[in-house]
Chains A and B, each alone.
Chain A
Amino acid sequence: MKKLINDPQNVVPEALEGMAKAHPDLVKVHFEPNFVYRADAPRQGKVAIISGGGSGHEPMHVGFVGYGMLDAACPGAVFTSPTPDQMYEAAKMVHGGAGIMLIVKNYAGDVMNFDMAADLLRGEGLQVESVLIADDVAVESSLYSQGRRGTGTTVLAEKILGAAAEQGYDLQRLAALGRRVAENGRCMGMALTSCTVPHVGKPTFELGEQEMEIGIGIHGEPGRYREPLARADEIVERLMEPILSDLPFQSGDRVICMVNSMGGTPLIELYIVYRKVAQICEERGIQIVRNLIGPYITSLEMAGTSITLLRADDEMLSLWDHPVKTPALRWGM
């Protein structure tokens, strides 16, 4: 294992210490339990938006704390869900009397830990709603599993819901908007290489020099199939087909498109991916009205990409354009 770290056990706290030093104007960091929260929290009268998940997907979620996005983010150990005390303490720190909105990705551990935090907060008389993101079309529905994983749509939901909270949406209206975003987003990813969890020390899975995994999860979980490496255009077609046919996206739809790096894939390759995504959408009469290209929901140093499409209405687009100022996403201010 070759990593820029000091000690595998200290990866998360040391990264959080670095964040606190880098962005004191935007965020503060609380340790034990660990959470990152807005420097100007609590904002009275605004619904507090809290997310979280395993570390190793940076900038998600800690990089999205700030004006127009999250009030707090709770990072677990690498690829391990955070614990309820983190969300509980974060919520008590940032809530402004208008309720708490939790954004949760659909993994068994995340769902249970966030549910438990919600129970604890309700027990103290706070209003809590949550939105569950389960957008990964690579997981075909099964009676015998947890269901679809939460992936790229999470980033878009955090931006849109964060803007809505900033504009004064109440908790119920935010929850309804959150469900609409979750229902209209679809994502699928692929990997060229594995990643190595620092405290494990060896690659999560083996992938040959001439192989790729289509449908990879953000923790290196297996995808739909493994096959010989193909050209970028063919890979994009293999990701786009399941995404487009699932919702399904139709001619005339307007979409927000995210082409994401899994961590190890450079921007120059992401633009090659986006070029083909845009071609396919044009051919189908689907209009990409906003896009986001870069590393936003990563899997440590894994090389690969994921494509997310969100069918957006006027309200979502207006919220997308609302100013945002976080360590990892900033525009309009």
Chain B
Amino acid sequence: MPLTQEAVRAWLQRCAAVLEENRDYLTQLDAAIGDADHGVNMDRGFKAAMTKLASLDTQDIGTVFKTVGMALVSTVGGAGGPLYGTFFLQLGVKTTNKQELTPQDWAEALEAAVNGVIARGQARLGDKTMVDALLPALEAYKAALQEGVPFSEALARSAAAAEEGMKATIPMVAKKGRASYLGERSAGHQDPGATSSYLILRAAAESWAGAT
């Protein structure tokens, strides 16, 4: 069955839990090539988003995503705030007035979200950013739908592509964000933004394992 509003909320709660579990890990990744606050920032942002969601009474999935997006924008700070905020706001724009999501709805929403992140951050594939996890995940998801595989399988392939993309950032030299000032010295470290993006997409595959 399509994803219900409850399933969407379950994914977001799982994101918050996973980011809390990985707070120190993400911060350590960031300490190597950034300013050592990514895990703390994401955890703080998702906690704030969950507080907002708890008191949000709506059946509209778009409103749920937009609420999360605005909470992230106003609490995460730095570059992560606008980038993840844009990701969820764009999911919200594409799901406005929807009470459930089909596999095709998710393709359109994810595409808008990934394109939103690219437009906001001006990063391309290979720049050692979130985009290196998000874009392969989007492509894998769309390809899976083309093949006609079930929703849950398409989500699993999408998460696997994000993981590969995340690992591919290790040898890259950063070309965007604070890490770019390190130049060659940024090589050999996994990008924290690509890592949090993978965690979020893996949470979707896990939360929606029963979706068809």
Which residues on A are within 8 Å of B, measured CB to CB?
33, 76-77, 80-81, 83-85, 108-109, 112-113, 115-116, 143-146, 221
Contacts and interface: CB of A to CB of B under 8 A. Distances in A.
B73 to A, nearest CB: 5
Given A77-B77, A83-B77, A144-B173, 5 more contacts: A83-B76, A85-B70, A112-B82, A116-B73, A145-B181
B120 A115 contact: yes
Contacts of A221: 181
Given A85-B70, A144-B175, A145-B181, A116 B82 contact: yes
A89 to B, nearest CB: 10
B81 interface: yes
B47 to A, nearest CB: 16
Contacts of B75: 83
Contact of B86 (A108, A116, A145): A116
Given A112-B83, A146-B180, A83 B74 contact: yes
Contacts of A112: 79, 82-83, 120-121
B14 interface: no
Given A112-B82, A145-B180, A80 B77 contact: yes
A115 B121 CA distance: 10
Contacts of A113: 81-82
Contacts of B79: 108-109, 112
Contact of B120 (A81, A83, A116, A146): A116
Q: Is the interface of B mostly helix, strand, loop or mixed?
A: helix
What 7 A-B pairs come out closest when comparing CB atoms?
A: A112-B82, A85-B74, A145-B180, A116-B82, A109-B78, A109-B79, A83-B74
A84 B85 contact: yes
B27 to A, nearest CB: 14
A115 B79 CA distance: 12
A265 to B, nearest CB: 26
B188 interface: no
B90 to A, nearest CB: 11
A71 to B, nearest CB: 21
B173 A83 contact: no
A218 to B, nearest CB: 15
B183 interface: yes
A112 B176 CA distance: 12
A115 B82 contact: yes
A193 B121 CA distance: 33
A85 B73 contact: yes
Interface in B162-191: 173-178, 180-181, 183
B180 A84 contact: no
Contacts of B176: 108, 146
A313 to B, nearest CB: 32
B183 A83 contact: no
Contacts of B74: 33, 83-85
Contact of B78 (A81, A84, A85, A144): A81
A115 B120 CA distance: 8
Contacts of A33: 74
A113 B20 CA distance: 24
Contacts of B180: 144-146
Contacts of A144: 173-175, 180, 183
A11 to B, nearest CB: 15
Interface string B16-27: 000000000000
A112 to B, nearest CB: 4
20 contacts: A80-B77, A80-B78, A83-B74, A83-B75, A83-B76, A83-B81, A84-B73, A84-B74, A84-B85, A85-B70, A85-B73, A108-B79, A108-B176, A112-B79, A112-B82, A113-B81, A116-B82, A143-B175, A144-B183, A221-B181
A113 B78 CA distance: 8
A183 B73 CA distance: 31
A81 B73 CA distance: 12
A146 B123 CA distance: 11
